[in-house]
Every structure is written in structure tokens, then in C-alpha cells.
Chains A and B, each alone.
Chain A
Amino acid sequence: MNKYMERIYNGIWKENPIFVQMIGLCPTLAVTTSAINGVGMGLSTTVVLVLANILIAALRKIIPDSVRLPAEIVVVASFVTIVDMLMEGFTPDLYESLGIYIPLIVVNCIILGRAEAYAMKNNAVLSAFDGIGMGIGFTIALILIGAFRELIGAGMIFGVQIMPASYVPVSIFILAPGAFFILAILTAVQNKLKMPSATNGSVKKKKKAGGCSGDCLSCAGHDAAKAE
């Protein structure tokens, strides 16, 4: 795997922004009432993320360290405005259902986080691949959460009736509490199956430390075991 593909793998699996890093949860919880909303939010964030990463990486030697946060925000906000206007013009329905969360992509911590953690330290091409990886990881997570919420809460996926007609939708799942239930369950499944994420990675090699059966690298038992 070359270093470009590694970035994409990293964004989708190893450091998935939602299920592993747990950042950008506000739009995740708020807009995933259906799978199509997840697609829209995920793709628009991906576009902003990739473009902002490229520009910030290109400008990283010009931006003075002391004003890097305002500079990054200005770059992100410009791209968000472009995406916002494009969506209003070409996908008015989606724009309507995502509402305030499109302009709020500016303050999505995935974008600022990647700019700070990656784009300010690496070249533009690598940063672009990092943005693509993180964006795809984010989109997949949103689609998964949206699809499960739509399935349980409305009996449909992408607007197509899946459940039999006699199924009574559990409407709490398309309301706010349902987002927390689904996110928690999917994260738990990710942990349980020991998917190759950054937090699960090294645990497979060694026996479980102490009484905890968790997988966290930062677990006290893990550190204690390491010290021995």
C-alpha cells in the first residue's frame, strides 16, 4: 500500500472520524434522519474537506503560526459558501432538508481538525488524499447511521419501503434520541468485532489486561501491562 492509499484506508477504517475519533458528531446526530440526508451531508463535507485541505497545505508555509486558526477558518468558510450556493441552486430538496447544517460545515471539527493535524504539516497531494479518505469515512458512517435510523424509524432505506406493510415504525429512531442509540450500537459493534481501527489495533496481539475487557489503548490496565 503506497502512502496515498494508506491515507484513504486511514480515513475509512483506522481513524474513521465518527466511529473511532468521535468528532463531528453534531451534524452526524442531527441530519442522519434518512440515508439520503447522510449522503448529502457526507458528500458536501467531503468536497469542502478535500478543497480546504489542498489550499491550506499549499499555503502552509505562508500562513504565520500565530494566526493559523483564523486563516484556516477563512479558507474553510469560503469553500462552504461555494458548496452552499451550489447546493441551493442544483439540489434544492436536499438543501432544504439539511437546512442550517450546510453553513455549519464551517465549524465541523473534522475539517478544522484535519487542517490542524494534517494539512498544516504535509504537502498538498497527500493532504488531498487525507481529505478524500476522511470524507469517505465520514460519508460511510453517515449513510450507515441514516440507513439504520430510516429502516427502524420509517421502515424504508433511501425512500424505498423495506419492511412489510404491517411493520409499525418506531418513530423515536428518526427523532434525536434514536441517533444516539444507533451511533452507540454501531460503535459497540465496531469495537466488538475488533475492526482494524487505531483504538483496536494492538489489543489483538496481547492478552486482555486486568479485569477490563475493553479495547482502548489508553486503558489503565493496558498501560500497567506495558509497564510490566
Chain B
Amino acid sequence: MEKLFNVSSSPHVRDHSTTQSLMLDVIIAMIPASIYGVWQFGLNALLVLIATVVACVVSEYAYERFMNKPITIADGSAVVTGMILALNMPPQIPVWVPMVGGVFAIVVVKQLYGGLGQNFMNPALAARCFLLISFAGLMNDFSSASLGFDSLSGATPLATLRAGGEVDLASLIIGRIPGTIGEVSVIALLIGGIYMIVRKVITPVIPLCYIGTTAVFLFIFGGFDVNYTLCEICAGGLIFGAFFMATDYVTSPLTQKGQVVYGIVLGLMTGIFRLWGASPEGVSYAIILCNLFVPLIERATLPKAFGKGGTKK
């Protein structure tokens, strides 16, 4: 009854979705990729997943408890951060590395800036880049990531492509390749991405603009080779990043036009990093850099309020 008589100013939007339900949908969407990663890479992958999520949730609880803030672990955002971070880890990584990353993601990137909704860059990705810089050797070691598949050891497909080698497109799509836990299987990721679009958790604008621009860029500058372009798109973290990380509500533009611009800038940066950067992969750096551009993009694409900005006759 109390809610019925609630008086508030406009806009009077009624919606049943909550932070919790949205986060739950994102978690469900990541389950196919997680299951595939654990099935392919074995128990250490599962351990990494669990440990990272626990580290994120515990550090969020501890920080909020210590700082006398309301405890928000029930909204699931720490779980999502933990899962994304874990899926970005090489499968054979020692468990303490992603746990350090989880604490960094929650405490430094998210909570110090004011908690959910205030962080200026994606916490999971910022933590991944922190770990990449800190523990370069451990984070780039995919050599033993081949449980059960002898043929899989060795360089990641992107490194092979960079070196001018050939990669089998079919195994890229299924995911029989070395890589991080969550990024390998395009099919599993697309199932999750389509689930989120159907459930209206995300709109397809950012992923499509992002992947499309990357494809065009790599097609033009990679020598007009269709097979190469398709391999580049399916390899590495592009699909995972486009659907799960670039679409983070907090760090992506609100406006439709802004989302298009954001997707295109992301695609250009990823293409540039992949073709001419020091490392064969550039998705994480592209996304956190573009996170920083978001306020600018939003300011430039802010729609005019109804009745404002017209010319006098």
C-alpha cells in the first residue's frame, strides 16, 4: 500500500528489473563459457573461477564493513566482476594471482571511487591490466593450457596469426585453442550474448559496432583477406570483450548515438593495437581506454531536451 501512495517527480518509469536481476542474467550468460572453459582446461580453471569470485565478494564485504557502508554484496555485481576477471585468466595461473586481481578490482577500482556505478573503468579489466603489467610472465603463459588436447599447446591463435601462420577457423569457433579460460569458445560466448540481448540486459548496438569496425579495419589493413579477418575476430578476447565487458552499464555511454561512437572507437583501437601494438592482443587495453572517453562521448552526443535549441522564426 505504501508504494501506491508514493509521490515523486517525473519521469514515472515502472520497471521490475533490479540490479540483482540484471546481474543474475549476466551471470547466467557467462555460464556456457565458464562450463566450456572448465571442461577444456580442467579443474584448475574451476578453482580459478571460484577463488576469484570469492576474493571479489569477500573484499567488497570487508571494505564496506570496515568503512561502515551499506553491505551491497547481495546485488551480485562483485560476483560478475569476479567471473569476468576469472574468465580473463590463463587456465594454468596460480590461484593467488587472480585473487590479488580481485581485491584490486573491488577495492581500488570500484570502492575507492564510490562503489557500484561510480567506477570510471571496468574493474575486472583494470585488474586484468594490473596483473598483465605486474606478472607478465605468469599472465602470458599459455603453454601448459592443453589438458586433454596435445595439439593445443603452444602459441595462442593471435600470436600465430601475428607471425603469419595459419589458424583453423572451425576450431576457433568451437574453442579447441589455447587462450584464457572464458574467451576460447565463440559458440559458448554467442549463446551468452544472445541470451543477454533476448533478456534485454544489453542492446546489440555496442557489440555489433565494435566487432564490425574491428572486422572492417583488419580487412582493410590486413591485406583484404576474408579468412584472416574471420580468424582475427574469433580469436582472442574480441567476442568476449564486445558482449560482456564493453557493454558494462557503468562504463559505457547511455545515449544511443554515443554507443555507436563508442563501439567504433573501440573497434579502431583494437585494430590498431592488434596490428601494430607490442602484444598480439589489444581488447582489454582498448576497452579501458575507451572507458575513459565515455564522459566525453556522452557530452558530445547528449540529446537536446524537447523544446530546447530551436531557432526563432
Name A's B-contacting residues (CB within 8 A). 168, 170-173, 175, 177, 181
Name B's A-contacting residues (CB within 8 A). 100, 108, 130, 133-136, 138
Contact sample, A vs B, 17 pairs, CB 8 Å cutoff: A168-B135, A168-B138, A170-B100, A170-B134, A170-B135, A171-B133, A171-B134, A171-B135, A171-B136, A172-B130, A172-B133, A172-B134, A173-B134, A175-B133, A177-B130, A177-B133, A181-B108
Instruction: Report Cα–Cα, A181/B133, bound state, in Å.
Output: 14
* B108 / chain A contacts, CB cutoff of 8 Å: 181
Distance to closest chain B CB from A51 (angstroms): 40
Most chain A CB neighbours (cut-off 10 Å) among B100, B133, B134, B138: B134
Instruction: Report Cα–Cα, A168/B99, bound state, in Å.
Output: 14
* A173 / chain B contacts, CB cutoff of 8 Å: 134
Distance to closest chain A CB from B92 (angstroms): 15
* A177 / chain B contacts, CB cutoff of 8 Å: 130, 133
Instruction: Report Cα–Cα, A177/B135, bound state, in Å.
Output: 14
Q: Name the residue on A nearest B132 (C-beta).
A: A172
Most chain B CB neighbours (cut-off 10 Å) among A170, A173, A175: A170
Q: Name the residue on B nearest A168 (C-beta).
A: B135
Given contacts A171-B135, A175-B133, 15 further A-B contacts (CB under 8 A): A168-B135, A168-B138, A170-B100, A170-B134, A170-B135, A171-B133, A171-B134, A171-B136, A172-B130, A172-B133, A172-B134, A173-B134, A177-B130, A177-B133, A181-B108
* A170 / chain B contacts, CB cutoff of 8 Å: 100, 134-135
* A168 / chain B contacts, CB cutoff of 8 Å: 135, 138
Distance to closest chain B CB from A200 (angstroms): 20
Most chain A CB neighbours (cut-off 10 Å) among B100, B133, B135, B138: B133
* B135 / chain A contacts, CB cutoff of 8 Å: 168, 170-171
